[in-house]
Chain A
C-alpha cells in the first residue's frame, strides 16, 4: 500500500530531512513513525500525500508511483488519504458540522449524501450533540475528533496522523489513540507520527524509528 525505496529528501541549503529510507506498509497496518523532534517524521508523511517531493528514491502509494503523478492529479490522491495534525487545522469561522461537510463538498458529494455520511461519523465519534459548536468552543480532544471526522468522512484508505496527541492531556490522548486503533481495526491503514516513545511502545504496533534522519529500526 505504501512503499518507500531509498528515499532521500534534502531541503534547501543541503539540509537533509530524510536519508535513504526504505520500508513497505501493507494494507490495514497500524504503524508508528517514531523519532525525536526534527527527525523527519512530518516530512515522511508529507511525502506520502505529495506535499513534498523526494530528492531521490521511489515512493508508491495505493499502487501509484508518485514520481509520475501529475500535479493536477494530486487532489485525486488526497481524496483517498486522510490527514490529521497536532494543531487540528480546523476552520475557526465554521461550525463542527461545516468543518466536516467541507471535506465532502470539495469532492462534489451531494448535500443529501454528505449530510447522511456526516451524521454517521459524528455519531461514531460521539460529537453529534455539538455539531453547531465552533472549534473555539470545543476542548482540544474534541477538536482533534473533529479533525478525525473530517478525515474519515471520505472513507480514506490511509489515515496519516502527525503528532495527533501532541497538544492533548493524557486522557484525551488515550481517547484519540483508541479511536485510531478502532479505525484501523475497521480496515483503514493508519500511520501515526509521534515523538512519544513510551506511548508508541504501549500500543504494541509496528514502529519505524527514525534517528538522525535515517531509518534506525523497523519492528
Chain B
C-alpha cells in the first residue's frame, strides 16, 4: 500500500509541480547528453585508433623466381605474425591504378609492369611496435626469395605515443565530465526536494516513516533519470546524423548508447534523490 501511495504521490508531484520537474529534467537531459556526446567522440577515437593499429604491417618484396606459397608458410611460422597475404605483380599494378585513378597517365611511361610481387604481413597486436616490426622483418629478410621489406619503424612508436597521450587525456576529461554531471544532477534534485521541504516536514509530523517519505521522491528521481536518459539518447542520434553528413564513417553502437543513457539516468536519479533526501530525513 505504501508503494502504491508513494508512486501515486510521485506522479502527483510530477504533474502538479511540472515546471520544477521539467527544469530538473532539462538539466538531467543536457548533462547526460554531454556525457553521451563525449562518449561518442571517445568510441570513434578508439575505433579510428584501432583501425590505424590494424594497418601496421610489413610488406616483403619477393624475387621473381621465389615460391610465394613456401615463403608464406615460412613467414606464418614466425612468432607474432597473424596473417600473410600474397599480392602478385599484376594485383599490385591494379591496386596502384585504383589509387592513382585521376593521374593514370603517370603509369603510361612504363612499358612493362615495374611492380614486384609482394607479401603483406599482418601482425598480432603485441608485435605492432617498432621493436616487434624490426625483429620480424629481420627474420623475414633471412628467408631465401625476399628482396626487401618495408615497415613503419619509428613512426609506429610515435603513433603509439600519441595514442597513449590521447587516451590518458580522454579518460581524464571523461572523469571530469562525469563528476561534473553527477554534481549538477545531484544539486538539481536537491533543489527540487528542498523546494518541497514543507511537504516532507508535514509527512514527518503526521507520522510517516522514512521509507514512506522516500518512495515518491525516489520514484520521481527514477522517472526523471530515465526520461532524461531517453532525451539524451535522442539528442545523440540527431548529433550522429549530423556528424555522418560531415564524416562519412561514424561509429555509433546505438544499443549500447541507449542502455548507457538509461542506466546512467536511472542510477543518477535513484542515488541523487536518496542522497538529497537523507539530509531531510535525519
Interface residues of A (CB under 8 A from B): 49, 72, 75-79, 83, 89-91, 93, 102-103, 105-108, 150, 154
A106 contacts B199, CB within 8 Å?
no
The smallest beta-carbon distance between A217 and chain B, in angstroms, is 30
B5 contacts A83, CB within 8 Å?
no
CB-defined contacts of A90 to chain B, threshold 8 Å: 202
A89 contacts B207, CB within 8 Å?
no
Contact of B202 among A76, A79, A91, A108 (CB under 8 A): A91
In the complex the two chains form, what is the Cα distance from A83 to B202 in whole Å?
A: 10
The smallest beta-carbon distance between B216 and chain A, in angstroms, is 11
Contact of A91 among B1, B198, B204, B207 (CB under 8 A): B198
B212 contacts A106, CB within 8 Å?
yes
A106 contacts B206, CB within 8 Å?
yes
A150 contacts B198, CB within 8 Å?
no
The smallest beta-carbon distance between A159 and chain B, in angstroms, is 13
Interface centre among B5, B198, B207 (most CB of A within 10 A): B207
Does B70 belong to the interface (CB within 8 Å)? Answer: no
B205 contacts A89, CB within 8 Å?
yes
Contact of A106 among B16, B201, B203 (CB under 8 A): B203
B208 contacts A106, CB within 8 Å?
yes
CB-defined contacts of B73 to chain A, threshold 8 Å: none
In the complex the two chains form, what is the Cα distance from A103 to B205 in whole Å?
A: 9
Contacts A72-B210, A75-B210, A106-B207 supplied; 17 other A-B pairs, CB < 8 Å: A75-B207, A75-B209, A78-B205, A79-B206, A79-B207, A89-B205, A91-B198, A93-B17, A102-B202, A102-B206, A106-B5, A106-B208, A106-B209, A107-B206, A108-B1, A108-B2, A154-B206
User: Which residue on chain B has the smallest CB distance to residue A80?
Assistant: B207
B16 contacts A93, CB within 8 Å?
yes
Contact of B205 among A83, A105, A108 (CB under 8 A): A83
In the complex the two chains form, what is the Cα distance from A102 to B202 in whole Å?
A: 9
CB-defined contacts of B205 to chain A, threshold 8 Å: 49, 78, 83, 89
User: Which residue on chain B has the smallest CB distance to residue A103?
Assistant: B206
Q: Mark B171-208, 1 if CB is under 8 A from A, else 0.
A: 00000000000000000000000000011011111111
